[in-house]
Amino acid sequence: MSWLSMGWWGGSAGAAIINPGLPAGPCFCRPEGCCGLRRRAGGHALKCVDTRRHFEGKIGARTGVFRPVIHQGACMKVTCGREALNQAFQVASSVVPVRSTVPILQNVKVTAQGQGAKGTLEVVGNDLEIGVRFTVGGEAAGAAVPVDVAEEGVLVLPASRVSGLLRESQDEQVTLESEGSLATLRLKDGRYKIVGTDPADYPDLPPFDPRQAVKVETADFSSMIRRTLFATSEESTRYALTGVLLDLREQDLRLVASDGKRMAFVKKKTAGGGKPVKVIVPPKALQLLDRVLGEADAVVQLQVEENQVKMQTSRAMIFSRLIEGNFPEYEDVIPKGADRKISVPAAAFHSAMRRAALMTSDKGRAVKLAFGKNRLRIETRAAEIGESEIDLPIEHAGEPLDIVFNPDYFLDFLRVVEEETLTFELKDRNTAAVLRVAGGDYTYLVMPLKIDL
């Protein structure tokens, strides 16, 4: 596709420039007006700056062909491992919107800093709600593949196109050069010239202040994310429940998620100088953090502010705006006074629940847990499928108790449990079941179904 489709009537004031790729809207241009033309030797020069895109070019006096003029800026030249750069682009691209009313957000910002083999390459993606800065190279990032910076510089490049090129290549090394905003990506078997965008227009991420951060061990926080994310609500009408509650206290950090039918609650010790606060974090931000955590990360630093949260690792800084709303008082939801505490082997229960779920229908996802003397029987019954009974040995000497649940709520929970034993805390068939693991840091609550099976 040509840069511009145009009509030509001749004369310095007689040129009409049309760009079908730009939406209609006001143009805030130079004093001579939108797309004003000025005569120069060799043809007419054009320059237009609007709120969405910056383009410059030159119209040939004889041919009428528009040729882009590259924005002036510092030249960049950097060489690094393709796999490391590909990872950085994939992470940054994960927050880039597919469509946006602000086209520059469909790009990523690449910054080369330092000199020689100790240089770094920062790749930034930002959709104004969630942003990430991923660093390749440098001692702080603990990178196995060094970055060789010959010339420092900044580029803003189309995310999907560059990500695709890096992903499809099998080369070990890649060189990225620039002349103004025109980038050249050099691989072993090819060279790709890519037109970029003015870096001055790209929105910056807010700075991270480690003095205001709390620290959580990486293994702990990664586990906390996996043990809560699955319980968030997908219903837009319950906006506050679509995120994960981050409850920061003086000595510990708590993550809580609920969709109104179940609740996952996990807590871990923290270190740092953060103030007690409760905020709701979008699941996408926590998924992104879990994705970028690496072996070099001993701790994750969290900085929580009034309307945003920032999370820092050795290689990445993630920024996210918070979800507005009031999260329920989760501690009040947990039933008190359960008179039955029954231990169940986690692996055997998981296997039995998977098999029982296969004997349920989409219309009737229900299993009955029948707690008897030293036995847990899992039963299903569906007219169009059939029925099943699975027995597990347990230690239980109390009165029999039958409760019906949705099997999917147990399967989601069991996928993230690593402990060997679960403890059921039960009261009656109409009260939520509470499941705990050894150590007491992880609590899962699931509501029963009020049906007979």
- Residue-wise pLDDT for 3-17, tens only, equals 333 332 333 333 333
Domain 212-330 has CATH 3.10.150.10: yes
- Residue 27 pLDDT greater than 80, yes or no: no
Confidence band of 74 (pLDDT split at 50, 70, 90): low
How far apart, in whole angstroms, are the C-alpha atoms of residue 36 and residue 17?
10
- Residue-wise pLDDT for 254-271, tens only, equals 999 999 999 999 999 887
- In the 3-class helix/strand/coil scheme, how is 389-417 assigned residue by residue? EEEEECCCCCCCEEEEECHHHHHHHHHCC
- Residue 141 pLDDT greater than 60, yes or no: no
Residue 227 is classified by DSSP as T
CATH assignment of 77-201?
Answer: 3.10.150.10
Instruction: Give the residues across from 451 on adjacent strands.
Output: none
Let me know if 139 is exposed, middle or buried by CB neighbors in 10 A (0-12, 13-18, 19+).
exposed
* 306 C-beta neighbours (distance < 10 Å), count: 7
Instruction: Give the residues across from 359 on adjacent strands.
Output: none
Q: Which of 154, 146, 83 is nearest to 119 (CA)?
A: 146
- Residue-wise pLDDT for 224-238, tens only, equals 999 999 999 998 888
For position 189, what pLDDT does the model report?
Answer: 85
44 or 116, which is more confident: 116
Residues of the chain with CATH 3.10.150.10: 77-201, 212-330, 334-446
| 334-446 homologous superfamily | DNA Polymerase III, subunit A, domain 2 (3.10.150.10)
- Give the predicted TM-score (pTM) of the model: 0.79
- Residue-wise pLDDT for 397-451, tens only, equals 889 999 999 999 999 999 999 999 999 999 999 999 999 998 889 999 999 999 8
Rounded alpha-carbon distances, angstroms, from residue 412 to 182, 228, 229, 409: 48, 10, 10, 5
- Residue-wise pLDDT for 175-193, tens only, equals 999 988 899 999 988 899 9
- Residue 46 pLDDT greater than 50, yes or no: no
Instruction: For residue 292, report the phi and psi dihedrals to the nearest 5 degrees.
Output: -90, -10
Reduced to 3 states, what is the DSSP secondary structure of residue 316?
Answer: strand
